[in-house]
Chain A
Amino acid sequence: MTKNSMNTQSIVGRRASLLAIIAITLLSLGIPLGAQGLSIPEAEKILIELDELGNFPGKDYSALYTIVSEKPGEKQSVSQVRVFRRDERKQFTILVMLPEVNKGQGYLREDDNVWFYDPTSRKFSHSSVKENLQNSEAKNSDFTASSLKDDYSIQSIAEGKLGQYPVWILELKAKNNEVPYELLKLHIRKDRTMLLKEEAFSVNGRLMRTTLYPKYVSLENKLLPSQILIVDEINKGEKSQISMAEQTVEKLPDKVFTKAFLEQVNR
């Protein structure tokens, strides 16, 4: 080994150490690592805002969701469900209105328990927020309150453009195993906190699902998606479009969040 090459190596080594010290200092000061102008604490603030946009603490939420599903080689199917949510108690009730053959089926969540009600057998069975709703790409968890800040930690921040909108691209990693996806990549509008696209990845890092939020409505000074497009990235051609209507935050009777309610609506 020549003296010159040894010098080059030591210079490279010193530079690498210097860069590492700078990176650690920047991180500890909360200065952005991957993108200009957005620090980790600021990105976390965005996550909190996103959670707040989708949640209604102290209030109830209900809406009519129409889900149009497409699968390769199959006819388009249309499902309609009425969703009732009481976020402060981690409760939801989903009542299937369409198709006619599944009418009266329902899902009830209380805390971490989810039950599925079948009016034909008049029995409840255990389900999960990770299960798909009816035959669509939507999961039960898509109808629950958002808890991105609690469930995920930010791995990286980048900038990009989605259509005409400049976006922040946040890569999130699950903090616990209570969530269906280990990794998420969120595309959030820079000018106002609006989630435009969410990519969900498997435990081993493969893209499983892309969710697009093309339309929003305003409710109680909050922006709520009124249309969602979910694309299955494993089975190409499989997708679901969810349209929300009749969204309201009016108080719901307590009985809506009981098993008796699901039984009663079927009488």
Chain B
Amino acid sequence: MKYIIPRIALRNLSRQKKRSFLLGGAIAFGIMIVTLINGFAGAFIENVSENFAYLMAGHVFVQGAEKTPSGKRLSVIRDDSIIFSAVRDSGLSYEFATKTSEVSASLFFEGKTIRQNLTGLDLATNLFLRERVVLRQGSWDAIGPDSIILSEKIASRLNVLPGDRITASFQTLTGQNNIADFTLAAISVDSSIIGSVMSYVDLAYINEAIGLKSGEYMALGFMLNDLKAAEAFASRLYTSMAGMGIQLFDRSANEEGSAATPFQAMIRTQRSEDWQGSRYSVYTIDDIVSQAKQIVVALDGASLIILLVLFAIVMIGINNTFRMVMYERIKEIGTMRAVGVQRKEIRSLFLNEALFLALGGAVAGLVLALIAMSILSLIDFGMNTPAFMIMKNGHLSFFVPPLRAVFNVVIIAALTLLAAYFPAKAAAKMEPAVALRTAK
């Protein structure tokens, strides 16, 4: 007797296959759309962070800053031994550290000009760069002190080939104009829209040109084994550096209600505050891309609104269908009531039907979403696409947080039960004699 009502409910659903399929299909479609949005949002932040980490060669960064008497802010790390000693003291481990200096330059070659960011790295020893940057022309063996590596797009716009001499005009650390000549050592495959505007030069060479001494540079990046460990690494490094009495910029400088990222807030502080000597900022890739989190929140919010709108429509359908079902089965209800079936059992029969419909539709929707995700993630959009930053190696990627999926199913079940509740209540209230003599 215990399972008789659910069994009748299932039988009733199978009696009207077409109607059940259409109602369940509507629920499945809604769940599929919402799950796809959730899946995209779930992978979004990780993809953006990882892609930025790849471009910036690090998950956690330390930047040095000095302020001149005239108020000019200089980005420089003069002595990194204190940073490495803080890393050692706090027992932190990392895959590798990258020292970089960056300058915005105009590149000139035979009447052609282009604006580029020159990233100075130790080209001879930086394995990360050698692993990640694929060369189309030239070779790593051709790397010399004045070498430059340009992306295909930039090399083509300047019309240069390996071996050509390129002149660069830029400003020194303190803002004076300077010029340096570079030899094009290699042309790299365009890894992305952002990657294609980055050119690599030797750290020592560019440092000398911008007025930095040997051993000095602008930023130190730590690449970790796992992106998720970045915040803990940065916090411990910050604490350790603070413990050593090193001047630091506040990591929580973000103003209340401001749209700025923690990184932007830190830069603003550096502009407004005065200090003497070297002062350091510690930040993670998450601090830079934290505005992307707002996109995730917006996507999740939008998916919830879509879920509610779709189901408001589906609820009207379910409500109408169950009212129709009630009139179709009016004699059956009368008979059941006449043989002793209680009012609450009639109500629960209708509600069981609605629940099975919701769960069936939801499971089908989740399965359809998984199939759609698998197919979409197989498409190779290539690395040179404007959407590169939100993709994983040129492919769309998805991650649906399990709790989010459960939440969606619960919402669907609750709304479907609500839609079926009033017809169910009306059916339960029906007097057996009235029901039996009602003509359809």
> Bound pair: A and B?
yes
The answer to whether B108 touches A208, judged by C-beta atoms less than 8 angstroms apart, is no
A257 at the interface (CB under 8 A from B): no
A174 at the interface (CB under 8 A from B): yes
Interface centre among A71, A178, A200, A235 (most CB of B within 10 A): A235
A14 at the interface (CB under 8 A from B): no
Task: List B63-84 residues whose CB lies under 8 Å from chain A.
Answer: 68, 70-72
A134 at the interface (CB under 8 A from B): no
Q: Mark A79-122, 1 if CB is under 8 A from B, else 0.
A: 00000000000000000000000000000000010000000000
Contact A206-B70, Cβ < 8 Å, known A234-B108, A235-B113: no
Q: Mark B106-133, 1 if CB is under 8 A from A, else 0.
A: 1010011100000000000000000000
Interface size class of B (residues with CB under 8 A): 20 to 34
Task: List B168-186 residues whose CB lies under 8 Å from chain A.
Answer: 169, 171-172, 174-180
The answer to whether A112 touches B177, judged by C-beta atoms less than 8 angstroms apart, is no
Q: Which residues of A contact B70 (CB under 8 A)?
A: 112, 176, 178
A54 at the interface (CB under 8 A from B): no
Contact of B211 among A72, A203, A235 (CB under 8 A): A203
The answer to whether B111 touches A181, judged by C-beta atoms less than 8 angstroms apart, is no
A236 at the interface (CB under 8 A from B): yes
Contact A72-B111, Cβ < 8 Å, known A130-B171, A178-B70, A203-B211: yes
Task: List B96-111 residues whose CB lies under 8 Å from chain A.
Answer: 106, 108, 111
Interface centre among B71, B174, B178, B180 (most CB of A within 10 A): B178
Contact of B179 among A73, A130, A179, A234 (CB under 8 A): A234
Contact of A208 among B111, B169, B172 (CB under 8 A): B169
Q: Which residues of B contact A206 (CB under 8 A)?
A: 179
The answer to whether A180 touches B113, judged by C-beta atoms less than 8 angstroms apart, is no
A243 at the interface (CB under 8 A from B): no
The answer to whether A202 touches B108, judged by C-beta atoms less than 8 angstroms apart, is no
Contact of B177 among A71, A73, A130, A238 (CB under 8 A): A130
B167 at the interface (CB under 8 A from A): yes
The answer to whether B175 touches A234, judged by C-beta atoms less than 8 angstroms apart, is no
Contact A181-B176, Cβ < 8 Å, known A112-B71, A234-B167: yes
Closest to B170 in A: A202
Main secondary structure of the interface of A (DSSP, over half): loop
Query: Nearest Cβ distance between residue A82 and chain B, in whole angstroms?
Result: 27
CA distance A177 to B106 in the complex (A): 21
Q: Which residues of B contact A181 (CB under 8 A)?
A: 176-177
Closest to A73 in B: B111
Closest to A200 in B: B177
Query: Nearest Cβ distance between residue A56 and chain B, in whole angstroms?
Result: 24
CA distance A234 to B172 in the complex (A): 17
Query: Nearest Cβ distance between residue A124 and chain B, in whole angstroms?
Result: 14
Q: Which residues of B contact A73 (CB under 8 A)?
A: 111-112
CA distance A137 to B45 in the complex (A): 42
The answer to whether B175 touches A180, judged by C-beta atoms less than 8 angstroms apart, is yes
Q: Which residues of B contact A71 (CB under 8 A)?
A: 113
The answer to whether B175 touches A130, judged by C-beta atoms less than 8 angstroms apart, is yes
A193 at the interface (CB under 8 A from B): no
Tally A residues with Cβ within 8 Å of B.
25
CA distance A112 to B179 in the complex (A): 25
Task: List A183-219 residues whose CB lies under 8 Å from chain B.
Answer: 200, 202-204, 206, 208
CA distance A244 to B90 in the complex (A): 63
The answer to whether B179 touches A235, judged by C-beta atoms less than 8 angstroms apart, is no
A60 at the interface (CB under 8 A from B): no
Q: Which residues of B contact A171 (CB under 8 A)?
A: none
The answer to whether A208 touches B177, judged by C-beta atoms less than 8 angstroms apart, is yes
Task: List A225-247 residues whose CB lies under 8 Å from chain B.
Answer: 234-238
CA distance A73 to B169 in the complex (A): 20
Q: Which residues of B contact A112 (CB under 8 A)?
A: 70-71
CA distance A73 to B159 in the complex (A): 14
CA distance A72 to B176 in the complex (A): 25
Query: Nearest Cβ distance between residue A232 and chain B, in whole angstroms?
Result: 9
Q: Which residues of A contact B112 (CB under 8 A)?
A: 72-73
CA distance A180 to B170 in the complex (A): 11
A127 at the interface (CB under 8 A from B): no
Q: Which residues of A contact B172 (CB under 8 A)?
A: 177, 203
Query: Nearest Cβ distance between residue B168 and chain A, in whole angstroms?
Result: 9
Contact of A177 among B71, B113, B176, B209 (CB under 8 A): B176
The answer to whether B177 touches A202, judged by C-beta atoms less than 8 angstroms apart, is yes
The answer to whether B176 touches A204, judged by C-beta atoms less than 8 angstroms apart, is no
CA distance A180 to B68 in the complex (A): 16
Contact A180-B108, Cβ < 8 Å, known A130-B171, A234-B167: no
Q: Mark B145-184, 1 if CB is under 8 A from A, else 0.
A: 0000000000000000000000101011011111110000
The answer to whether B177 touches A177, judged by C-beta atoms less than 8 angstroms apart, is no
Task: List B224-277 residues whose CB lies under 8 Å from chain A.
Answer: none
CB pairs A–B below 8 angstroms (20 shown):
A72-B112, A112-B70, A174-B176, A177-B174, A177-B176, A178-B70, A181-B176, A181-B177, A182-B176, A202-B177, A202-B178, A203-B178, A204-B178, A204-B179, A204-B209, A206-B179, A234-B108, A235-B111, A237-B111, A238-B113
The 10 closest A-B CB pairs, nearest first, are A177-B174, A72-B111, A203-B178, A202-B179, A202-B178, A206-B179, A235-B108, A182-B176, A203-B176, A180-B177
**Knowing that A180-B175, A204-B180 are A-B contacts, what are 16 other residue pairs whose CB atoms are under 8 Å apart, sorted by A's residue number?**
A71-B113, A73-B111, A73-B112, A112-B71, A176-B70, A178-B175, A179-B176, A180-B176, A180-B177, A182-B176, A202-B176, A204-B209, A234-B108, A234-B167, A234-B169, A237-B111
